[in-house]
């Protein structure tokens, strides 16, 4: 299992299929024949990680057909969410396909290549982050199921205690009560928020890369957790992760992971030492080939 | 079931019981003879007393329940009265409003409307004398139905409950609603991403 | 106040509390230093565990409360007939996870990340009391920012939000990221060293 490749390879045909759980078309009301998925993000993940299917080979037509068939069956109750999810899936597929179809520059130096990747990095970061939250959601279920086994006492006072009936209703008139009833019973109006207001996390991979190139030689060895301990947002952590992958590809660091989901170990390597490390089989990545 | 298992199960069940639980019901629940359950409860009660716990297991109205040791009443009262200066929380006020306008109403009905468990709030309102049980619903479980009390009317300066203002009076008119909606609509023109 | 008096008073007060009581409030009530009260609560909790009681003294959402021992869930459930059917959907759980880890966070930010409109899910989570508005973002529109509530902590059996497992633990491993990265490469050619 412990392979001999020095870097995280760009294509790793031997990697086992990693999707732990396949959920069958729950959120999106329709099911596409081959890749069964849940929601646009999962579909996307499935498509881009499935080695049997290249993005280029996924025809859009069956996806559309399946969706239209579903739509015909549930014309009345098809939720807006479902429609928008479908649009998103279709748009992402189109984007992926167009990216693949357009010819890329033959030879680019690393810097230019990195700049070109920024957009993709954001998407990738988002995918990774969503994956992490999906994992966290599973953990919430486990935690809450465990917590639910303990039932709290919510009985309150025994009889016979003198509660010096403070007038908790001081200042509450009939109107206030009527307003409270309205608040409690009325369907609350939901303000529409313009998506343009979104504040986007703006750390870029290339900036982080530069920062890491300055920091890492001083650290020598580091664990991913230590390296990212000071970061405030999850996005920054993910961007650091992506930057490390780039550094790995550039041969500046060796990444190792003792076990799946174990902490990532990072080692800064000078060119000569890198070769030595490879020669000694010091690589720990879990890849074949 | 060993004696220890029985004691533990009794402690757990009695901890969450709101009303005193008759030994017969406990026996049925734990599938043990009533005599054995009764004896176990008495052993527990004696044990708490002997160990000088802050709570006791009392037999009240034919059932067992946890309550505070009489010695500690001053602390309990201080705790219960800690919010003398406080007003009702929003949650409590909204629950009270639901009871006032929808009475008679069950806890489950209030809970449904508010989307959260309201047991604690209902109990608080009942303890403060603003609401009281006024009957039981028909059907499964026969849940207790609550209504407001005379104290509630008095505090609100009302003579009769039908003097509560009709809620329709407070619904915004159509033009106000339209205006509100307008104000919430995203502004046209590129706002761009806020940094 | 002797240690024993303190323990007894704590037991009595905690028995009548309907939600977790912060050590600070207990300290104020009993006129003792918060550290001493906290230590006494911990001693009580350990004592119950060691003695194999059917109840435990747990620290949740920043306060202490009596609750049943998890072992005894079958009896308690049978007795209390608790409705645990309020399970959240996957979409709601994932949204809740985003709020929990990124709070304070706006609906639009969640929506951006999940790629779908989340208004309905956010409203559901708010109604259930798991999240609440905690402020407003600066900038145009001043969108409402959401955070998790004490009820959320209670439901997960946590004392503080930082007891959540680090989200990094859920990041996919390096090989998955590499695969994703490969799948998303903008150019088809592939430069250099494909393994």
Tokens of B144: 């207790």
- Our CA angle for C36, B73, A154, nearest 5°, is 80
Which ipTM was obtained for this model?
A: 0.65
Q: Which of B15, B101, B130 sits opposite A153 (nearest CB)?
A: B15
- β-pairing verdict for C105-106 and C131-136: unpaired
Residues B57 and B64: beta-carbon distance below 8 Å: yes
Closest Cα to residue A132, out of C114, B50, C128?
C114
Which residues between 60 and 79 in chain A have a beta carbon less than 8 angstroms from any beta carbon of chain C? none
Going from the first residue of chain A to its last (289 residues), give the mean pLDDT of each consecutive group of 10, the final group possibly shorter.
30 28 34 39 50 52 63 60 61 62 52 52 73 85 84 76 63 79 61 36 66 79 79 70 78 72 74 49 37
Confidence (pLDDT) at A223? 81
- How near does any CA of chain A get to the CA of B107, in Å? 14
Q: Which of A153, A164, A176 sits opposite B84 (nearest CB)?
A: A164
**Contact (CB<8Å) A198/C109:** yes
**Using 50, 70 and 90 to split pLDDT, how confident is the model at C70?**
very high
Query: Is C108 a residue whose pLDDT tops 50?
Result: yes
- How near does any CA of chain B get to the CA of A148, in Å? 13
Confidence (pLDDT) at B110? 87
Distance CA B111, CA B109 (A): 5
- Rounded to the nearest 10 degrees, how much is the dihedral formed by the CA atoms of A82, A88, A92, A93? 40
Confidence (pLDDT) at B108? 85
Residues C106 and C137: beta-carbon distance below 8 Å: yes
Q: Between helices C107-114 and C119-127, what is the axis angle to 10°?
A: 120
Could you give the domains of chain B? 3-73 (1.10.10.10), 90-174 (1.10.10.10)
Confidence (pLDDT) at C41? 97
- How near does any CA of chain C get to the CA of A214, in Å? 23
Report which of residues C169 and A163 the model is more confident about.
C169
Distance CA B98, CA B147 (A): 10
Confidence (pLDDT) at A98? 64
Query: Is C5 a residue whose pLDDT tops 60?
Result: yes
Report which of residues B49 and A116 the model is more confident about.
B49
- pLDDT per position as a tens digit, B52-74: 999 999 998 889 999 999 999 88
Residue with tokens 């139905």: B145
**Contact (CB<8Å) A257/C173:** yes
Residue B13 forms contact with A (CB below 8 Å): no
Whether the bond into C51 is cis, omega within 30 of 0: no
Confidence (pLDDT) at B100? 92
Confidence (pLDDT) at A11? 28
Report which of residues B26 and C128 the model is more confident about.
B26
Residue A232 forms contact with C (CB below 8 Å): no
Confidence (pLDDT) at C46? 97
Q: Between helices A174-185 and B90-102, what is the axis angle to 10°?
A: 90
Confidence (pLDDT) at A37? 37
- Rounded to the nearest 10 degrees, how much is the dihedral formed by the CA atoms of B65, B70, B74, B75? -50
Q: Which of A26, A99, A286 sits opposite C175 (nearest CB)?
A: A286
Task: List all chains that touch chain B, counting a touch as 3 or more CB pairs closer than 8 Å.
Answer: A, C
DSSP classification of residue A173 = -
Residue B186 forms contact with C (CB below 8 Å): yes
- Collapsing DSSP to helix, strand or coil, B91 comes out as helix
Neighbours of B159 (CB within 10 A): 8
**Using 50, 70 and 90 to split pLDDT, how confident is the model at C149?**
very high
Q: Quick one: closest CA in A to C173, which residue?
A: A261
**Using 50, 70 and 90 to split pLDDT, how confident is the model at C190?**
very low
Which residues between 21 and 50 in chain C have a beta carbon less than 8 angstroms from any beta carbon of chain A? none
Residue C154 forms contact with A (CB below 8 Å): yes
Residue B92 forms contact with A (CB below 8 Å): yes
- Go through C76-86 and write b for each residue having 16 or more CB atoms within 10 A of its CB, e for each that does not: beebeeeeeee
**Residues of C in Cβ contact (< 8 Å) with A104:** 186-189
A177, B93, C134 from B157: Cα distances, Å: 12, 16, 35
B39, C33, C63 from C37: Cα distances, Å: 35, 6, 12
**Mean per-residue pLDDT over chain B, rounded:** 82
Mean pLDDT of C170-178: 73
Confidence (pLDDT) at B81? 77
Confidence (pLDDT) at C121? 87
Distance CA C21, CA C18 (A): 9
Q: Quick one: closest CA in C to B7, which residue?
A: C54
Q: Which of B69, B79, B120 sits opposite C29 (nearest CB)?
A: B79
Mean pLDDT of B114-131: 82
A51, A185, B127 from C66: Cα distances, Å: 53, 33, 21
Confidence (pLDDT) at A209? 78
Residues B116 and C86: beta-carbon distance below 8 Å: no
Three-state SS annotation for C34-89: HHHHHHHHHHHHHHHHHCCCCEEEEEECCEEEEEECHHHHHHHHHHHCCCCCCCCC
Distance CA B67, CA C8 (A): 12
Whether the bond into A34 is cis, omega within 30 of 0: no
Closest Cα to residue A212, out of A183, A179, A240?
A240
**Using 50, 70 and 90 to split pLDDT, how confident is the model at C58?**
very high
Residue B61 forms contact with A (CB below 8 Å): no
**A with C: how many residue pairs have Cβ under 8 Å apart?**
273
Confidence (pLDDT) at C3? 93
Neighbours of A267 (CB within 10 A): 19
Q: Quick one: closest CA in A to B16, which residue?
A: A153
**Contact (CB<8Å) B67/A163:** no
Across-strand partners of C58? Answer: C65
Confidence (pLDDT) at B57? 95
Across-strand partners of B58? Answer: B65
Confidence (pLDDT) at A283? 39
């Amino acid at each position: 299992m412990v392979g001999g490749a020095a870097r995280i390879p760009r294509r790793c045909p031997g990697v086992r299929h990693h999707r732990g759980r396949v959920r069958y078309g729950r959120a999106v009301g329709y099911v596409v024949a081959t890749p069964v998925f849940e929601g646009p993000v999962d579909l996307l993940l499935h498509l881009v990680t499935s080695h049997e299917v290249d993005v280029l080979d996924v025809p859009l037509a069956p996806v559309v057909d399946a969706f239209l068939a579903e739509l015909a069956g549930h014309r009345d109750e098809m939720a807006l969410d479902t429609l928008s999810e479908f649009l998103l899936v279709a748009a992402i597929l189109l984007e992926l396909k167009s990216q693949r179809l357009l010819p890329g520059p033959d030879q680019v130096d690393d810097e230019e290549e990195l700049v070109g990747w920024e957009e993709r990095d954001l998407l990738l970061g988002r995918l990774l982050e969503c994956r992490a939250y999906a994992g966290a959601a599973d953990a919430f279920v486990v935690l809450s199921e465990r917590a639910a086994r303990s039932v709290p006492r919510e009985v309150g006072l025994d009889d016979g205690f003198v509660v010096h009936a403070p007038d908790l209703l001081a200042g509450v008139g009939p109107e206030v009560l009527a307003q409270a009833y309205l608040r409690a019973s009325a369907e609350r109006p939901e303000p529409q928020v313009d998506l343009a207001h979104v504040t986007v996390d703006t750390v870029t991979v290339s900036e982080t890369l530069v920062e890491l190139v300055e920091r890492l030689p001083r650290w020598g060895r580091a664990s991913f957790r230590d390296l990212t301990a000071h970061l405030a947002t999850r996005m920054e952590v993910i961007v650091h992760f992506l930057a490390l992958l780039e550094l790995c590809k550039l041969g500046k660091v060796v990444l190792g992971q003792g076990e799946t989901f174990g902490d990532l170990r990072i080692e800064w390597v000078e060119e000569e030492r890198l070769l030595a490390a490879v020669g000694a089989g010091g690589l720990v990545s879990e890849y074949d080939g | 079931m060993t004696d220890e298992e029985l004691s533990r199960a009794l402690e757990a069940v009695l901890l969450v019981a709101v009303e005193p639980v008759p030994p017969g019901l406990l026996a049925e629940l734990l599938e043990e003879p009533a005599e054995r359950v009764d004896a176990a409860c008495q052993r527990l009660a004696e044990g708490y007393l002997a160990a000088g716990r802050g709570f006791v297991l009392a037999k009240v109205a034919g059932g067992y329940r946890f309550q505070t040791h009489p010695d500690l009443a001053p602390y309990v009262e201080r705790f219960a009265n800690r919010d003398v200066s406080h007003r009702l929380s929003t949650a409590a006020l909204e629950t009270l409003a639901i009871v006032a306008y929808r009475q008679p109403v069950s806890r489950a009905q209030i809970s449904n409307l508010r989307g959260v468990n309201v047991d604690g709030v209902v109990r608080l309102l009942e303890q403060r004398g603003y609401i009281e049980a006024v009957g039981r619903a028909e059907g499964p479980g026969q849940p207790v139905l609550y209504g407001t009390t005379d104290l509630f009317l008095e505090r609100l300066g009302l003579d009769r409950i039908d003097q509560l203002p009709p809620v329709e009076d407070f619904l915004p008119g159509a033009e106000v609603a339209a205006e509100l909606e307008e104000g919430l609509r995203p502004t046209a023109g590129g706002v761009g991403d806020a940094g």
